[in-house]
Amino acid sequence: MQIILGDITKQEVDAIVNAANTSLLGGSGVDGAIHRAAGSELVHECRLLGGCKIGDAKLTKGYRLPARFIIHTVGPVWRGGDCGEPELLAECYRKSMQIAADKEFESLAFPCISTGIYRYPKALAGEIAVKICSEQIQNNGGPQRVIFCCFDRENYEIYERILSNYS
Ligand code: AR6
């Protein structure tokens, strides 16, 4: 597992993860950036998927992105933490890692799901991201390279602190 500070749409990996909404038809934040960079063919494929539930994940091609594929997942909106948010966020990471393992992807980059417009506290979200990915690597053996792509320095420093506690 590694951390980078940068734009996920620039990552040359087998797949990047999108923090989408249940429509899968695009939005703002990282979702908007991914749709802009991938081009309009992406929304055509997304229309065929019939949306996505919170905590679930769906695969599309990457189109004009350097990444070959996109795993679209829908994080929970933060409502104080007692509405199942931790379990739903964990499911986003688990399902995304499962798809990557099933497809035998070697490299996968995640944004900090739910920590923007959906207001999930960054440190709590980071703990879940690292814990679930670490478990999935141990249980499924893949993908070999998991990149936490932080867009802001605050998230980057949070992940540095969390990852220093993992080997
Ligand atoms: N590369 C990497 N990370 C990014 C990028 C980028 N290009 N742009 C933003 N981030 P958000 P959410 C970070 O709001 O909270 C959309 O409208 C950002 O700094 O994109 O899951 C969807 O359609 C933050 O750390 O996603 C949904 O409606 C992280 O990505 C809703 O927003 C997630 O922020 C999803 O909200």
Convert the pLDDT of each residue in 47-62 to its tens digit: 999 999 999 999 999 9
Kindly report whether the global pTM for this prediction surpasses the value 0.95. Answer: yes
Which H/E stretch holds residue 154?
helix 153-163
For the stretch 109-159, pLDDT in tens is 999 999 999 999 999 999 999 999 999 999 988 799 999 999 999 999 999
Ligand 1 geometric centre to CA of 115 (Å): 7
Let me know: does 16 contact 73? Beta carbons within 8 Å.
Answer: no
Ligand 1 geometric centre to CA of 144 (Å): 24
Let me know: does 145 contact 106? Beta carbons within 8 Å.
Answer: yes
Domain count, the chain: 1
CATH number at residue 97: 3.40.220.10
pLDDT at 167 over 70: no
Enclosing domain of residue 62: 2-164
Check pocket membership of 28 for ligand 1, CB cut-off 6 A: yes
DSSP secondary structure string for all residues of 14-50:
SEEEEE--TT-S--SHHHHHHHHHH-THHHHHHHTTT
Ligand 1 geometric centre to CA of 53 (Å): 17
For the stretch 148-165, pLDDT in tens is 999 999 999 999 999 998
Taking the CA of residue 151 as reference, the ligand 1 atom at the shortest distance is 3
For the stretch 84-95, pLDDT in tens is 999 999 999 999
